[in-house]
Amino acid sequence: MKRPAPWPYPRWVAHRGAGKLAPENTLAAFRLGASQGFRAFECDVKLSADGLPFLLHDDTLDRTTTGQGRAGDLAWTALSQLDAGSWHGRQHAGESLPTLRAVAAFMRRNGYLLNIEIKPTPGQEEETGRVVAALADQLWAGADVPPLLSSFRPDALAGARATAPSLPRALLLDTLWPDWFEVAASLGCVAVVTNYRLMDAALVERLHGAGWRAMVYTVNEADDALRLLALGVDGLITDAVDRFAPATAG
């Protein structure tokens, strides 16, 4: 059994900045999550048509911005003009899509930590991994704790590893598909992040036995959190930033 390396990230991680209490993946969301006591955050990063890393979860713009169609088809000059806040409430009208550079500045200025989910437009998995990792490596140069790069897409993690091998990587899993363990090992992952429903004592033991950390998403109910904490998971990503205060939630 391998001994896991020291883990520098807090156990509680705010999903997309502040879960559902602010427009996801915006600076407003990170500010709100921080106001609730969170010091670690998760966000989704993809590429504009001209190769600039910015924050957005969906492949398309329709749900969370005033734009339409595939986000990856627009250059940053167009994306930067969109309203990414009014869908959530009038108080957030005019909130813009942030670049990874802007988020990194906020994180480093305040001493917060970040889990960057590489969320490529389909067909751009390896390229997105390479570009995001290269920029993250630059933006966090000299930082005591680098960002954790995660993805559901092995090709994206492979691109990240090829470009910035020193940045830690984690494989995201919604199902335990065949060969997931071997793939995580081949990518040099330091953690596996599963749907919280998949995590049980046997899986925690297997991950820890490999020297990896066990993380879960998206934990919003107290009963689920207590079960997972009792199993010894190393990270819980949550939307419920108003109910799970990191200082008191374990």
pLDDT along the chain (250 residues), means of 10: 81 96 98 96 98 98 98 98 97 97 98 98 98 98 98 98 98 98 98 98 98 98 97 97 72
| Cα 33 to Cα 46, 164, 168, 228, distances in angstroms | 22, 28, 23, 22
The pLDDT of residue 6 is 86
By residue count, the chain amounts to 250
Active site (annotated) includes residue 208: no
The pLDDT of residue 250 is 47
State pTM to two decimals. 0.97
The pLDDT of residue 5 is 73
Tell me which residue has tokens 């933006």. 139
CB-based contact 120:47 (threshold 8 Å): yes
Determine the distance from the C-alpha atom of residue 174 to the mean position of all C-alpha atoms in its chain, rounded to a whole number. 14
* Nearest alpha-carbon partner for 244 in 196, 207, 200, 193: 196
The pLDDT of residue 249 is 47
The pLDDT of residue 3 is 67
Rounded Cα distance between 238 and 250, Å, is 13
* Domain 12-238: assigned CATH number: 3.20.20.190
The pLDDT of residue 245 is 74
Rounded Cα distance between 243 and 222, Å, is 9
Determine the 3-state secondary structure of 237 from DSSP: strand
Rounded Cα distance between 190 and 4, Å, is 8
How do the domains of the chain map onto residue ranges? 12-238
Rg (C-alpha) for the chain, rounded Å, is 17
Please report which residue ranges of the chain form alpha helices under DSSP H. 27-35, 76-79, 100-110, 125-139, 154-163, 180-186, 201-209, 222-231
